[in-house]
Amino acid sequence: MSSHTVSKLATLAIVLAFTGGQTAEPEDVRMQLVREGRFVYFAELDSITRDGANARMRSVQLSAEPSAIGGKNYIGGYSWWQFDCIAKTGQRMDYASLRDDLVIGPVMPIDGPVIELSPGGEAAELAAVACGWVEPRVDATHLSKAIQLTRDAD
């Protein structure tokens, strides 16, 4: 391993130790754009798991412009969702903020209620992908591409 690589890894370890977060995954990830509005929502296609009527999936919501909070800029966040595809209900399981330097976290559990999927709502559009009600479509293959699509949509 080169000294440059070691230096980059050491810097990353220091950042993670002080931020309590993790950097966004560097590998490719297939994402489908599911909703545009105040936030742009993407479903992570590779995170979808199904067990009978139940589906689970991770999503990312992004904003075109960062929001400054506590001296740091945030561009959105990640959430795990769980859906009952027969009952047409959903529940957001957690939320992890995403900074503009691509540090994720911390993860905050959400003890929210199970909700009925409302046509046109964020949860319903994510469920359509997770439950297989719509044909999967790859709109981005990396977080940086999803961020660019979000900024282009603004």
User: CA 139, CA 136: separation in Å to the nearest integer?
Assistant: 10
- Torsion sign (Cα): 93, 99, 100, 102: negative
Q: How many CB atoms lie within 10 A of CB 90?
A: 27
Tell me, yes or no, if the pTM score tops 0.75: yes
Are the C-beta atoms of residues 98 and 61 closer than 8 Å to each other? no
- Asked if residue 10 has pLDDT above 60, the reply is no
Q: What is the mean pLDDT of residues 73-92?
A: 97
- Asked if residue 118 has pLDDT above 50, the reply is yes
Phi then psi dihedrals of residue 34, to 5 deg: -115, -20
Q: CB within 8 A of 2, min separation 6: which ones?
A: none
Beta bridge partners of 138: none
Are the C-beta atoms of residues 139 and 149 closer than 8 Å to each other? yes
pLDDT for the residue 112: 78
- Asked if residue 150 has pLDDT above 70, the reply is yes
Are the C-beta atoms of residues 8 and 86 closer than 8 Å to each other? no
Amino acid identity, position 101: D
Beta bridge partners of 81: 57, 92
- pLDDT level of residue 18 (50, 70, 90 thresholds): very low
Are the C-beta atoms of residues 142 and 29 closer than 8 Å to each other? yes
105 three-state secondary structure: strand
